[in-house]
Structure 1
Amino acid sequence: MGEMTGRPIYSCRNCRNPIALHQDLLSKSFKAKTGQAYMFGHAMNIVVGAKEDKQLMTGYYTIANIFCSKCGEEMGWTYVRAFDAREKYKEGRYIVEKSKIVKEY
């Protein structure tokens, strides 16, 4: 963990696998299946599932579910494509459900 010392990191609640760094947190104002979710610009130690087109609250997207690479827990999703030009900023970003992660120092 060397270079991460003293910085908050978000880890899988299930197995403590690091999923995202605090400095990659872009927003806490997202909603997911289990409630509150965070948007990250980068995620690590994840497996990206199959792409699917889905209607979400803010529009139509191509998304792929993301899973913890260690325990397989579903963590949230990544935006592959936004069909609405106003939502393009979400492309390549990760939505992680708050209930699936724990903040560690």
Structure 2
Amino acid sequence: MGMTFRRYLNAGGRIYGCSSCKTHLASLSNMMSRAFNGQHGRAYLFESVVNVVEGEECSRAMTTGQHTVRDIYCVKCGVTLGWKYELAQEPSQKYKEGKYILERNLLVDVQ
């Protein structure tokens, strides 16, 4: 297996990266909300992220209802960074589908 291609962001603003290896993950311009909680504390909701690998779908009971999610991992170092919402059971939570949660304590500013 060869080297993994990684995408570098240059949005002209804040870039969030993996706290372990500093691989670019998302830009501030793609952040939808700072008012989320992850498994280990505060988390951010992003419209899109790069340089992640998605795990298997699973169903989770969360404070906002039942969701089908996939854990996401850093493409370089494999650290679990958060999850992707695949399906929300509650109609009021449908806006999360296809969006990503990144846990704040697993991120660093890389720009």
Distance 1:22 1:55 in 2: 28
Structure 2 vs 1, CA of residues 53 and 71 (structure 1 numbering), >3 Å: closer, same or farther? same
* Residues paired across the two proteins, number: 105
Tell me how far 1:2 sits from its aligned partner: 8.1
- Which residue identity lines up with residue 23 of structure 1 in the other structure? S
Which residue in the other structure is 1:23 paired with? 29
Which residue in the other structure is 1:64 paired with? 70
Which residue in the other structure is 2:44 paired with? 38
Tell me how far 1:7 sits from its aligned partner: 1.7
Using the aligned pairs only, state the percent identity: 34
Distance 2:61 2:107 in 1: 25
Secondary structure of 1:4's partner?
A: coil
Structure 2 vs 1, CA of residues 29 and 88 (structure 1 numbering), >3 Å: closer, same or farther? same
Tell me how far 1:104 sits from its aligned partner: 2.4
Distance 2:62 2:68 in 1: 10
TM-score norm. by structure 1 comes to 0.94
TM-score norm. by structure 2 comes to 0.89
- Which residue identity lines up with residue 90 of structure 1 in the other structure? K
